[in-house]
Structure 1
Amino acid sequence: MRVVDLTKHLHKKPILDGISIEINLGEITGLIGRNGSGKTTLFRTMTHLYQKEQGDVFIEEQSLYKYPKLREKIFYLDENFHFLSNQKPKRIARYYQEFYSNFDMEKYISLMTKYELNQDFKISQYSKGNQALYKMILAFSCRATYYLFDEPFDGLDMIVKKKVLSLLLHEVSFNQCGVMISSHNLIELESLIDHAIILHQGKIYKDFDLDQVKEVSKKYQMVFQKKEVPGLIKQNCQIIQVQGRVLIGIFDKMTDDLYEEILALDPVLFDEVPLTLEDIFASQFTNESDYQLFH
């Protein structure tokens, strides 16, 4: 699925500004951004819940806007739409059968049984964890090609979360669907995703393959002889944290020559430490005004 130059205004204010991204089959993409960056608006605009100002969404090289039937290839359940909560699972399934021609009722019933969800209860009577699990069952029973999940693990206990994750990873691997997940929990997201997109003020700030970034970008903890940051470090490193005299920073590209130049400064400490998705996100929005050196 390709999103091309998608633009959306709300109350005459630009919320999405020329968004172009791809969601690949068999992969999980993480959508990352601060509150208000446009993540939910992007999902709603991609799925026609909001009307776009410009741009397009292509599935199998066909425009979603020209061929509305293609919408059944995308599953997105907006958290603000609660019309399902007072319904029982069987009625909800019949509703989704009308929209998704490939809806798999056998799979739906089998998963409801496997995870012991009472089909005589209304969805609102389920615990928060079971509601999240139910939404995942409903999603994959629709047999869509692409799935958009907005904070699907938020507030779930460990037991339910493992069930949700197991179902998600099985579907991506077995059916080779494409998934995009927005989440504030970057530690959790890192263990799932193949690709990451950072959204900032309605624009794509960074679009990257996580493993490829980790191959070239490196995180170091550093202490230098003098109580100031050497110019060489300022030019080549994004400092994300200061602990006393210890600097922690990310080098976008650590070359052998740069490494030798830094060692020539005779640092007290210069050790590589594991780089995380949270670090990469922090490095995009941290500047010197965010901390006080050697306070």
Structure 2
Amino acid sequence: MTVKNLNKQIDRQAILEHIGFSVSAGEIVGLIGRNGTGKTTLFRTIANHYAKDSGIVSINGINIDEQPKSYQEIFYLDTQHLFIAGLTPKQIAAYYRLFFEQFDTEKYFALLKKHQLAPDLKFQRFSKGMQALISVITAFSSNASYILLDEPFDGLDIIIKKQVMRLVLNEVSTHQRGIIISSHNLPELEDIIDHVLILKNQTLVRDYYLERIRETSRKFQMVFRKKEVPAVIKENCRIIQVQGRVIIGIFEDLTEELQQEILQLEPALFEEMPITLEDLFAANLTKDSDYVLFDK
């Protein structure tokens, strides 16, 4: 699935601008950004719950607006406007069979039984964790090629969370589905995604493949003698945290020449650390005003 130059306004306010990315079959993509950056709006627009103002969503090179039946290849269950709250799982299956010709009823009820989810109990009477499981089961039973999951782990206990993750990983490995997951729980997201999209100021500011970024970027904690951030650090490092006089930041291209220039400042500490998904989030969303050096 490819998204090109997607734009969306709500009440004449730009929510999404020039969004572009691709998701391959069998790939799990993480969508991250601060609250209110448009993650849910992006999902709704891709799935045609919102009409896009401009741009193209295509699957295998086919513009799905020109072949609307292709929307069956995208599944998004909008948990914030949950019209299915008064339905039972059995009724939910009947509803989605109307829109997804390939909906796998046998698989749906088998998964409900496996996870001990009563098919005749109204959705709103299930716990939050059980609702999340039903939503994910519904998504994968649709047999859509691309699944959009909006905060699927939010508020779940550890047992349910592991069950949801197993479902996700099984679908990707067994059926080669492309999955986009938005989540605030970055450590858990990091364990399962292949690459990450970072949304900021209505647009995507980064599209990282995690293995590639770990090969090219390096994270350091540093302490300098003067009570200021050296110019060479400001120009070449994305600062993600300041603790007293300790600066923690990411260098996306730390050449031998740059490293020598830093070492010539005789830092009291210049130590490499492992990079995490939270680091990439902070590196792209932290502003200069978010940090200042203090004497300990």
TM > 0.5 between the two? yes
Q: Do the aligned partners of residues 237 and 113 (structure 1) sit closer, same or farther apart at CA in structure 2, a change above 3 Å counting?
A: same
Give the Cα separation in 2 of the matches to 1:238 and 1:72. 41
Aligned 8 A contact 2:104 2:142 in 1: yes
Residue type of the alignment partner of 1:131: Q
Is residue 150 of structure 2 the alignment partner of residue 150 of structure 1? yes
Q: What is the CA distance between 1:226 and its match in structure 2?
A: 2.8
Q: Give deviations 1:117-149, integer Å, cap 9, x for gaps.
A: 111211111111001001111111111100001
- Cα shift at 1:177: 0.5
TM-score, normalization: structure 1? 0.96
Counterpart amino acid of residue 59 in structure 2: I
SS in 2 for 1:219: strand
1:14-33 Cα distance to aligned partner (Å, 9 max, x none): 11112111111111111111
> What letter matches 1:268 in structure 2?
A
Q: Which residue does the alignment assign to 1:46?
A: 46
Cα distance between partner residues in 2 of 1:85 and 1:45: 22
Distance verdict in 2 for CA 1:63–1:237, change over 3 Å: same
Amino acid at match of 2:134: Y
Contact persistence 1:105–1:141 (CA under 8 A)? yes
Count of residues in Structure 1 that have an aligned counterpart in Structure 2 = 295
String of CA shifts for 1:92-122, please: whole Å, max 9, x gaps. Answer: 1112112111111111111111111111211
Distance 1:97 1:285 in 2: 41
Q: Point out where structure 2 has 5 or more consecutive residues left out of the alignment.
A: none
Aligned to 2:286: 286
Q: 1:168 to 1:216 in 2, by over 3 A?
A: same
| Pairwise CA RMSD | 1.3
- More deviation in 126-135 or 216-225? 216-225
Alignment of 1:214-225 (within 5 A): 214-225=214-225
Contact kept, 8 Å, 2:15 with 2:38, in 1: the verdict is: yes
Match of 2:9? 9
SS at match of 2:275: coil
Which is further off, 168-177 or 262-271? 262-271
In terms of mean alpha carbon deviation, does 148-157 or 84-93 score higher?
84-93
Normalising by structure 2, what TM-score? Answer: 0.96
Distance in 2 between residues matched to 1:55 and 1:285, nearest whole Å: 26
Give the Cα–Cα distance (whole angstroms) in 2 for the partners of residues 109 and 228 of structure 1: 62
The answer for the alignment partner of 1:66 in structure 2 is: 66
Tell me what 1:188 maps to.
188
Q: How far did residue 271 of structure 1 move?
A: 0.7
Q: Which moved more, 1:166-175 or 1:230-239?
A: 230-239
Say whether residues 1:234 and 2:255 are aligned partners. no
Moved over 4 A (4+): none
Tell me, yes or no, if structure 1 residue 248 matches structure 2 residue 248. yes
Partner secondary structure for residue 99 of structure 1: coil
- CA drift at 1:36: 1.5
What SS class does the counterpart of residue 148 from structure 1 fall into? strand
Task: Tell me, yes or no, if the aligned pair for 2:200 and 2:285 is still in contact at 8 Å.
Answer: no
Q: Distance in 2 between matches of 1:123 and 1:181?
A: 22
Alignment of 1:114-193 (within 5 A): 114-193=114-193
SS in 2 for 1:232: helix
Q: Which whole-Å CA distance do the structure 1 matches of 2:261 and 2:291 have between them?
A: 26
Counterparts in 2 of 1:183 and 1:133: CA distance versus 1, 3 Å: same
Report if the CA contact (8 A) 1:218-1:254 is conserved.
yes
Q: Partners in 2 of 1:209 and 1:159 — Cα distance?
A: 29
AA aligned to 2:5 is D
Deviation at 1:261, TM superposition (A): 2.7
Q: Does 1:18 align with 2:23?
A: no
The percentage of aligned residue pairs carrying the same residue is: 52
Q: Distance in 2 between matches of 1:171 and 1:288?
A: 42
2:36 is matched with 36
Number of the residue aligned with 1:260: 260
> Residues 36 and 201 of structure 1 are in contact (CA less than 8 Å); yes or no, is this contact kept in structure 2?
no
* 1:107 paired residue number: 107
Q: Is the 8 A contact 2:221 2:248 kept in 1?
A: yes
